[in-house]
A = this chain, B = another copy of it.
């Protein structure tokens, strides 16, 4: 008793809302360039007050990693990502990755920009690589079904597709003119069909490199 009372008028800040604030500052300044003074100022409290609610700067980072990675893996477990033709599953996952960056822009950005300087960061990078591997598996399956070209290594294709989708963190801002759903459309379209109007020979520019000619 005397614990989960209803009228909690007092708590102006809790861990989660402070993490929201901190991760947004991490996103815009970078984790290492952000001081606790920056975070406190963004929350409108003193540095000491900030520490009253949480334990350490690195813990805030870890929370961001966890949010982003949990969401990424959760997305792989959605029905549309598990059932159906591999191509459709790939397109769905790609689209959801874009949408996830709309919902968790700060968290995903912080995750993508980490360099692995601490055990916490290295752990996050490990989990991230596992995600990439899942995408590569998806692409490989689509290749075997004949719906994705087989002349590109699935791991490379996965990195490029994910790289295309995640590169939007550099400029995309929720609330702008371009809705996330439309952006996702165009990214899926470009990744699968390319920018060209009609299938161009992929060996037009190169002199000597022999990539396998596109089937049919």
Q: Residue A173 at the B interface, CB < 8 A?
A: no
The interface stretch among A14-22, A43-51, A58-66, A188-196 is: A188-196
A10 at the binding interface (Cβ < 8 Å): no
Q: For residue A113, which residue of chain B has the nearest CB?
A: B113
Which of A1-9, A27-35, A68-76, A100-108 sits within the interface?
A27-35
Neighbouring B residues of A30 by C-beta, 8 Å: 30, 32, 115, 117
Contacts of A189 in B (CB 8 A): 152, 202, 211
The answer to whether A147 and B206 touch (CB under 8 A), given A33-B117, A152-B195, A195-B161, is yes
Interface residues of A in 169-216 (CB under 8 A from B): 170-171, 178, 181-183, 185-200, 202-212, 214-216
Chain B CB within 10 A, most for which of A139, A156, A192: A192
| Shortest Cβ distance from residue A177 to the other chain B in the assembled complex, whole angstroms | 10
Cross-interface CB contact of A164 among B113, B163, B200, B205, cutoff 8 Å: B163
Q: Is the CB of B212 within 8 A of A145?
A: yes
Chain B residues whose C-beta falls within 8 Å of the C-beta of A199 in the assembled complex = 193, 199
A-B contact pairs, 12 of them (CB 8 A): A32-B32, A87-B200, A145-B210, A145-B212, A152-B190, A156-B178, A157-B190, A157-B195, A185-B206, A193-B193, A193-B200, A197-B216
Given A29-B115, A92-B205, A189-B202, output 4 extra A-B contacts at Cβ < 8 Å. A32-B33, A160-B167, A160-B190, A197-B215
